[in-house]
């Protein structure tokens, strides 16, 4: 079995399951909607203030929502020993990892696409800087969260109290990526300087951690 | 073996006593900061030992993944714990010094923030070790250790950029102005003493970990023989 065919079939299987159940996307949407509403009560910002704080709000909402999807990544493979079956099969482990990471990436990007208009409406956001840069930040940042998140979800399913474990190990490692996402978003929204350093940072972060994940995934999958 | 370790502990205690004398009595009082500057003789060596521990943790984790030796894993566990202890000392002594000198307990400056994030990463490592079950915990911990170590330079870079972009208001003092010879002496003695203390702690914790492993193996053996009650 080639790398790409395993990746494709696993990804399609996950997408089909999600399409039929809509478990992850519904819980993520509802969760981030709650965050939007609660933050809006807490800060009650004017248009100018919300430009300053929106970067933080948006990414905190998406980060917490992403954890919901990430936690479900491997859980369904544990039922019926699918993961064990995968381990004894000759399929390359990294293909499985990439499929899971891409699946989570798609879920979170869809969530962001659906939630972005709500943020704009509720916080009266109007970007001063170019909007396409926000899209670049979102794509790079989402991959940064999701690639490590998928890997750490594979770590945390092997622990007691697995649902709590994932954010505990994911958030500290993700701090530089979050800083880059929040600060570049604020920079673009306020039109105050350019986010080029942060974009480079995110690219470096994405490349480095994707490599580390691919390097270590087989070891973690086969850990017993 | 036992004589060597007892000798090492005695040597460490003697060194610690001498370096404390050097730091508190021999070294002159700093002109602008006063007595509070003496915390520097504990703060910086602790940071050095913490860094050393995390480097040992990384190397031991790599060795574990490569050779699957339980000794390497025990060393990784021991060094992470000791590293977190010394990193905590750094994070506590820093604000005690900063309050009288800078006028604030804490500032989100590059070095402070990096140290805090480092501390968070290794605490999460310890949490993972505690919660992982069965024989997988070593592999999972070693994987996370590599992630943590790779993350540190990225954290430092990003926070330095973050802070140079928005300069922080308080940057008085600092120890980069060159030390008086007596101060340098006291500092170097403390550096040596703290390194020895760190090594003592790591070795003790390492042995404890090996003992724990043996006890666990014995329990498992007993259970297999049906003798466990």
Give residue-wise pLDDT tens across range A117-131: 888 888 877 778 788
Residue from the list A159, A209, A220 with its beta carbon closest to the beta carbon of B131: A159
Question: A155, B139 in Cβ contact below 8 A?
Answer: no
pLDDT at res. A1: 62
Residues making up chain A, counted from first to last = 224
- Which of these ranges, A38-42, A138-142, B160-164, B214-218, has the smallest mean pLDDT? B160-164
Chain B partners of A198 at a C-beta cutoff of 8 Å?
A: 161
Q: What percent of chain B has pLDDT over 90?
A: 34
At B222, list the tokens.
């007993």
Say yes or no for a CB contact (<8 Å) between A168 and B133: no
pLDDT at res. B205: 92
pLDDT at res. A197: 86
Mean pLDDT to the nearest integer, A186-210: 88
In chain B, residues 65-104 whose CB comes closer than 8 Å to chain A: 65
In chain B, residues 24-43 whose CB comes closer than 8 Å to chain A: none
pLDDT at res. B178: 60
At A69, list the tokens.
């999807």
Chain B partners of A193 at a C-beta cutoff of 8 Å?
A: 165
Contacts of residues A18-21 at CB distance under 8 Å and 24 or more positions apart, as own/partner, are A18/A103, A18/A107
Mean pLDDT to the nearest integer, A85-96: 87
Question: A216, A151 in Cβ contact below 8 A?
Answer: yes
Give residue-wise pLDDT tens across range A203-222: 999 999 999 999 999 888 88
Domain ranges of chain B: 41-168+204-224
pLDDT at res. B168: 47
Query: Distance between CA B81 and CA B64 in Å, rounded?
Result: 17
Angle (CA) B213-B214-B220 rounded to 5° is 90
- Please identify which residue in the block is written with the tokens 């208001």: B169
CA-based radius of gyration for chain B? 21
Question: B82, B205 in Cβ contact below 8 A?
Answer: yes
Give residue-wise pLDDT tens across range B49-65: 999 999 999 999 999 99
Which of A153, A164, A170, A175 would you mutate first to test chain B, the one with the most B CBs within 10 A? A175
**Which among A207, A113, A126, A194 has a CA at the least distance from the CA of B161?**
A194
Higher pLDDT, A12 or B101: A12
Most confident of B109-118, B178-187, B190-199: B190-199
The rounded mean pLDDT for chain B is 84
Query: Distance between CA B110 and CA B155 in Å, rounded?
Result: 9
Residues with Cβ < 8 Å from B147, sequence gap 6 or more?
A148, A151, A173, A209, A212
pLDDT at res. B170: 41
Say yes or no for a CB contact (<8 Å) between B136 and A223: yes
Q: Give alpha helix (H) positions in A79-161.
A: 82-88, 93-122, 131-156
Residue from the list A155, A158, A176 with its beta carbon closest to the beta carbon of B158: A176
Give residue-wise pLDDT tens across range B173-186: 444 556 677 788 88
Domain ranges of chain A: 3-221
pLDDT at res. B229: 52
């Amino acid at each position: 079995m080639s790398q790409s065919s395993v990746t494709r079939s696993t990804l399609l299987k996950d997408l089909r399951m999600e399409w039929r159940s809509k478990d992850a996307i519904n819980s993520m949407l509802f969760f981030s909607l709650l965050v939007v509403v609660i933050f809006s009560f807490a800060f009650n910002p004017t248009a100018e203030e919300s430009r300053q704080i929106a970067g933080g709000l948006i990414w905190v909402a998406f980060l917490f929502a992403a954890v919901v999807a990430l936690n479900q990544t491997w859980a369904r493979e544990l039922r019926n020993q699918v993961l064990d079956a995968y381990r004894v099969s000759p399929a390359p482990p990294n293909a499985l990892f990439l499929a899971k990471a891409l699946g989570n990436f798609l879920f979170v990007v869809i969530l962001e696409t659906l939630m972005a208009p709500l943020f704009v409406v509720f916080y009266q956001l109007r970007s001063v800087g170019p909007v396409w840069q926000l899209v670049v930040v979102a794509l790079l940042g989402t991959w940064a969260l999701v690639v490590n998140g998928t890997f750490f979800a594979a770590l945390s399913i092997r622990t007691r109290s697995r649902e709590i474990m994932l954010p505990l190990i994911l958030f500290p490692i993700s701090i530089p990526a979050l800083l880059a996402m929040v600060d570049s978003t604020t920079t673009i929204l306020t039109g105050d300087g350019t986010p080029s350093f942060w974009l480079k940072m995110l690219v470096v972060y994405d490349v480095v951690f994707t490599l580390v994940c691919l390097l270590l995934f087989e070891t973690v999958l086969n850990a017993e | 073996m036992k004589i060597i370790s007892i000798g090492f502990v005695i040597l460490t205690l003697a060194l610690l006593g001498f370096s404390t004398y050097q730091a508190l009595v021999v070294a002159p009082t700093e002109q602008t900061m006063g007595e509070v500057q003496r915390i520097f003789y504990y703060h910086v060596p602790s940071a050095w030992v913490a860094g050393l521990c995390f480097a040992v943790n990384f190397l031991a984790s790599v060795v574990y993944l490569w050779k699957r030796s339980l000794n390497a894993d025990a060393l990784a566990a021991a060094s992470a714990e000791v590293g977190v202890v010394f990193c905590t000392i750094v994070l506590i002594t820093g604000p005690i010094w900063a309050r009288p000198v800078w006028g604030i307990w804490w500032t989100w400056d590059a070095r402070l923030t990096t140290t805090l994030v480092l501390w968070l990463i290794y605490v999460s490592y310890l949490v993972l070790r505690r919660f992982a079950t069965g024989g997988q915990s070593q592999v999972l911990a070693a994987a996370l250790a590599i992630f943590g170590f790779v993350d540190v330079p990225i954290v430092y870079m990003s926070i330095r950029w973050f802070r140079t972009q928005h300069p922080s208001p308080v940057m008085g003092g600092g120890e980069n102005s060159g030390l008086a010879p007596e101060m340098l002496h006291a500092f170097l003695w403390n550096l040596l003493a703290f390194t020895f203390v760190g090594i003592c702690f790591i070795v003790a914790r390492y042995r404890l970990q090996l003992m724990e492993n043996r006890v666990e193996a014995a329990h498992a053996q007993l259970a297999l023989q049906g003798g466990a009650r």
